[in-house]
A = this chain, B = another copy of it.
Amino acid sequence: MDSRLRRKQILKNAAVLFGQYGYHATSITDIIEAAGIARGTFYLYFHNKRAIFEELLDRLVVQIRERIRVVDVSPGARSAKAQLQDNLVGVLELLTENRPLLSILLEGAVGLDKGFDEKLSDFYQRLAATIEGSLTLGQKMGLVRDRDTRIAALAGIGMVKEVLHSLLRNDSRVVDLPGIAAQLLDIFSYGVLTNDTTIMTQK
């Protein structure tokens, strides 16, 4: 079988298992049975269990990044809020459609080699830094209230994560993602933007 396809096949099956049962409760046996391959074959494609989990995580991060478009502030562009909303909905969609990956992202894999948690941690830190940058910029433009932008950025990330966590828990398949995104954005903007700005974005 095509080497590239086989990789995907294994990854896909492993993602479901990791997402459903977590890293530790998922055995190599589970993975090869789900993928319908022999034990040795698995090691032909992945160095070890850690490697496949890591790749899954990497791919997820890439997918998330792909869903995020840098906000276009050139005149004539759509409102920043609308663009942010699109980004947020995109990410929420990606993750809720992909529960296996979501739970990996949220719960990580406590207790794997140090380096592992760090990878996840890194992702969040970069994300925070990006948001922080935007907020700082906003402050200079008088749009963002004069507070610690680092904490504001973390707060923003935390809000989204916790809502996703809740979605994961409740297993409710039909949810108004745009509505949720709007709400989160609303809270966040009221929370961090200057009064005038807030009023403006409100409509």
Contacts and interface: CB of A to CB of B under 8 A. Distances in A.
Interface residues of A, number: 46
A184 B110 contact: no
A184 B162 contact: no
A183 B25 contact: no
A140 to B, nearest CB: 19
A67 interface: no
A48 interface: no
A111 B163 contact: no
A4 B35 CA distance: 27
A192 interface: yes
B159 A154 contact: yes
A169 interface: yes
A64 interface: no
| Copies of this chain assembled into the complex | 4
Contacts of A145: 190
Q: Which secondary structure dominates where chain A touches chain B?
A: helix
A17 B35 CA distance: 35
Given A121-B169, A151-B163, A191-B191, 8 more contacts: A23-B110, A26-B111, A148-B179, A151-B187, A154-B166, A158-B159, A158-B162, A190-B192
Interface of A: 21-26, 103, 107-112, 121, 124-125, 128, 145, 147-148, 151-152, 154-155, 157-163, 165-166, 169, 179-180, 183-184, 186-188, 190-192, 195, 198
10 contacts: A22-B112, A109-B110, A147-B187, A151-B180, A151-B187, A152-B183, A152-B187, A158-B162, A186-B191, A190-B198
